[in-house]
Amino acid sequence: MRVDLDNSDIQTHVNLIQGIINRLSGNSASVKAWCVTVVTGILVVAIEKGHSGTALVALLPIVVFCLLDGYYLSLERDFRQLYNRFVASLHDGTLEQQQVYSVLPNAGSRHRATAALSCILSTSVWPFYLLLLLADLLVVQMGS
């Protein structure tokens, strides 16, 4: 059964997916901001107390926030693919009614893990966390 292009459900569906993509993008930016805040706080304490070993504690939030950032970016990419498939099927005239009411990205823990790893290796993620890691190691070296 073909879907009427003037159906308000189509616009609602597109807006819903766009909203999800925007939130995931905002979450990724928030993760980076929180990571800088936490790591900076740990490094300041390490420098003030003169305990360079304390700076190694900053490795944990760097790794955790990097993984979380990759996870959010992988979800964002999946929802962008979902959006693109939806719009393509809309333009092709192959859109089915059940597609209008389905907002499910690719599923499965294996897919999510490989997608997150791929996102961590993207240029929008790894340079940021590499710089934080280098700053952390610099503080550790300065104290030695």
Provide φ and ψ at 122, rounded to 5°: -80, 160
The pLDDT assigned to 109 comes to 86
* Residue 39: Cβ within 10 Å count: 24
Report the alpha-carbon distance of residue 109 to residue 59 in Å, rounded. 25
pLDDT at 18: 96
Q: Could you list the mean pLDDT of each consecutive 10-residue stretch along the chain, which spans 144 residues?
A: 70 92 96 97 92 90 97 95 91 83 82 92 95 94 78
State the pLDDT at residue 32.
Answer: 97
Q: What is the pLDDT of residue 9?
A: 84
Which tens digit of pLDDT belongs to each residue from 100-110? 888 888 778 89
Residue 2's pLDDT is 60
DSSP characters over 47-81: HHHT-GGGGGGGHHHHHHHHHHHHHHHHHHHHHHH
